[in-house]
Structure 1
Amino acid sequence: MGQVLVIANQKGGVGKTTTALNLGAVLTELGKDILLVDLDPQGGLTFHCGHEPDELKLTIYNALQNEDMTNEIILETNFGPDLIPANVDLAVSEMELMNTVARERRLTAILNPIRNNYDLIIIDGQPSLGLLTLNAMTAANQVIIPISCEYLALRGVDGLMKMIKKVQGQLNSNLKVNGVLPTMFDRRTNHTEWALKQIRDRFEPKIKVYNHIIYRSIRFAEAAEAQEPIIHYAKNIPGADGYRNLARELIKNNEI
C-alpha cells in the first residue's frame, strides 16, 4: 500500500504548499507515481498546479461528503502528479463533519481505496489544528514539518507536536515525524542563522532537522504565479536543489 505524507504546520506562510508541490514534482521526475491532495480551502496548491479553484465544480469537499466520488475529482497536472483539488467550499466542511460518524477518518476513507495507485500521496495541510488537519494526521504514515527561519514560526510548533502525539496515541500509531524542513532561509541576515540554530536545538536529536535548507528567493513567488514547480521555472537556484535532495533522501531511506 502506498505511503501518505502530510506537510503540516498550523502557521501559514512557512512553505507548506511550496514543499508539497515541488517535492511531488521532483519525485515524479525520479519515476514515482504521486498524488497531491489540497486540504486548504484557499486552494493554493490547486492554483499552483494549473487549475482555477473557483471554477471547479467537484473538489475534495464533495469526496468528504461521499467517498465514492473520489475518482471523479482527481485531476491531472502539466508536470506529472495527479491532484485532488480544493476551493473555498472546503471551509464549511469542518462544521458539517462535526456530527459525522468517524469524523476524523473521512480523509482515510477517501484515500485508502486509491493508495495502491501511487507510490506516495502528499497532503498539503491547512494552517490550523482543526478537524481537517486531524483527518490528515489520521490518514498519513509520515509528517514533514516546514518551519521558516524566523522567531515567530518556531513559537507556534508546540501545538502541532501535541496534536501529533495525541494522534499517535489514540488514532494512528503508525504516524511518524520524518523531519523538520527549514524554509525561507536568508543567508544575508543574522536572524535566520539564529533561527536555524534555535530550530536544531528545539528538535534534535529526537527529531531530524533536514540539512536540505530551502533558501528564500523571489523565484518561488514567480513560479507560483506562473503555475509551475520551481524545478521547472528556476531549476538552478539553491531552493530547487533543496527539494531535489530532500526527495532523494526520502527514497534512500525507503520512506517512499
Structure 2
Amino acid sequence: MTERRPGLDAQGFLAREGSLPRVPPVFHPVVAAARDRLPDVFGARLHSAYLYGSLPRGTARVGRSDLDLLVALHEEPTEADRHSARALGEALDKEYPQIDGVGTLLYGRARLLSDLERHDLGWFVACLCTPLLGEDLAGHLPRYRPDSLLARETNGDLALLLARWRTRIAETEDTDAARLPLVRYMSRHLVRTAFTLVMPRWNGWTSDLREMAEAFAAYYPARADQLRAAAVRGYEPTGDAGVLRAYVDDLGPWLAQEYARVHGVKARRPD
C-alpha cells in the first residue's frame, strides 16, 4: 500500500493547509488592515477574500515575506478592479514594514467554480487559501486527492510557460538586481511543478520547497541536485543569468516533456 504522507486527512483527501490562527502575531495588524479595507475597495462587487502563502501557514519571515491575497468578485474583474487592487497593495506595503510586498489575485466567482478550473483555481481556493472575508467558496467545491488529474490541471502547462519566460528574460535589464525576482519566481514554479509530477506517487502535499525537492529526488535522482538548488534559490535567489538560461534551456524543457509523458497536458484556457 502507498504510504500516506503529510497534507492529507484521515480519508486521504488533501487538507486545507492554512488557517488564521497560524498567522504570526507580528502580521496580525496587516491582515486586519487588508480585511477592513477590501470592502471599501470593491464594495458590493466583493464576494469573498482569502489569504494564501506563508502567512496563513505560519512560516512568514518579518521583512521578507509578502502578503498574498485572492479576491473573488461577483463578476469578472475589470482593469479598474486590478488598478484598485494594486493601489491597496502599495498602500499596505508602505504602511507595514513587516511585509515585503503585496500580491493580489483577482477572479470572478463563476470562473473559480467553473468545470474548467475545478482542478486548478478551484483546488487552489479549497486547499491552499484561508478564508478572510465572505462566503467560503470551498463549500461549493469537491474534495481533492493528490492524483494525476490534479497534477495535470495544476502544472501541466509548463511548455507554454517556458516560451513566455524566455521573452521575460530577454526583456529584463541585464543586472543581478533585475534578475532576482525572476530567479525567485521561476525557481519556485519549477520546484512546485517537479513536486506535482511525483505527487500521486508520493501521495501527500507540502508547500515547503525543500520538502518538495526531496520528494522529487526520490523518483528522479539524476535531477535531484538541480531541484535542491532551485529550492534554495526559491527562498534566497541570486541574480545569476546562467541560472535562468539553465531553467529555460535544460531543466524546464526536460520537466515539461516528462510531465506531459506522465500526466498529459493541461486543458487549454481561453486567451
Superposition TM-score tier, normalisation by shorter sequence: 0.3 to 0.5
Is the radius of gyration larger for structure 1 or structure 2?
2
TM-score (structure 1 length as normaliser): 0.32
TM, length-normalised to structure 2: 0.31
Q: Which of 1 and 2 has higher RCO (CA within 8 Å, sep 6+)?
A: 1
